[in-house]
A and B are shown apart, each in its own frame.
Chain A
Amino acid sequence: LAKTTQPISMDSYEGQEVNITCSHNNIATNDYITWYQQFPSQGPRFIIQGYKTKVTNEVASLFIPADRKSSTLSLPRVSLSDTAVYYCLVGPYNNNDMRFGAGTRLTVKP
């Protein structure tokens, strides 16, 4: 499984767009990129998954450059309730073995 690197923490203010970048230099051809969100005292929750270019859903967008060695999770107009830990995971589509790192702790301030 590809190793991922993401910032330990980030601060933002309500209404701003937040971009969290994850590096995965050793990503394999059949690997997908998945992001999960975890609020305090809760289990992680799936946000978005992609393979290349751009994926968008009602919660976030995921940008993946052509070389796929990094990816960026974009949260539009964050609110205080977006304060959470965000995890980037990389692995093959036929394998649900997810190795969570420490994630990025996002704090949204008023």
Chain B
Amino acid sequence: EAGVAQSPRYKIIEKRQSVAFWCNPISGHATLYWYQQILGQGPKLLIQFQNNGVVDDSQLPKDRFSAERLKGVDSTLKIQPAKLEDSAVYLCASSLGSGRETQYFGPGTRLLVL
């Protein structure tokens, strides 16, 4: 079974630029999550989708971050404009349902904002 795919794996941009990350969850998984992990900290949930609807985006900085999950499969997370403090690893995860089920994480995208 293929795992969660993410691209790109690494990205370096300058502050105030825009960046987008892509995630393809495990086939059949209805729930998709985006996390931000700053060096030395645990992952922080940014947004949770159930199919193509948003379940929780309470920790998403909506002035600069946006995410969508068209057709309930792939998802894109965008940052516009980026700030220095956005430097982190962005992890995508998926699970079968929205209960306390196993979340399967992708390898992440490492973002460096200069």
On chain A, the number of residues with a Cβ less than 8 Å from chain B's Cβ atoms is 24
Please give, as numbers and ranges, the residues of chain B lying within 8 Å of A99 by CB-CB distance.
45
Q: Are B107 and A100 in touch, CB under 8 angstroms?
A: no
Which listed residue, B40, B42, B108, touches A100 by the CB 8 Å rule? Answer: B42
A23–B7 CA distance with the chains assembled, in angstroms = 36
Residues A96 and B98 in contact in the complex (CB < 8 Å), given A44-B43, A102-B41, A102-B42: yes
Q: Are B107 and A91 in touch, CB under 8 angstroms?
A: no
A85–B56 CA distance with the chains assembled, in angstroms = 26
On chain B, the number of residues with a Cβ less than 8 Å from chain A's Cβ atoms is 27
Chain A residues proximal to chain B, CB less than 8 Å: 32, 34, 41-46, 49, 85, 87, 91-103
Given A43-B107, A97-B56, 10 more A-B residue pairs with CB atoms under 8 Å apart are: A43-B91, A93-B99, A96-B31, A96-B95, A96-B97, A96-B99, A96-B103, A97-B45, A97-B48, A99-B45
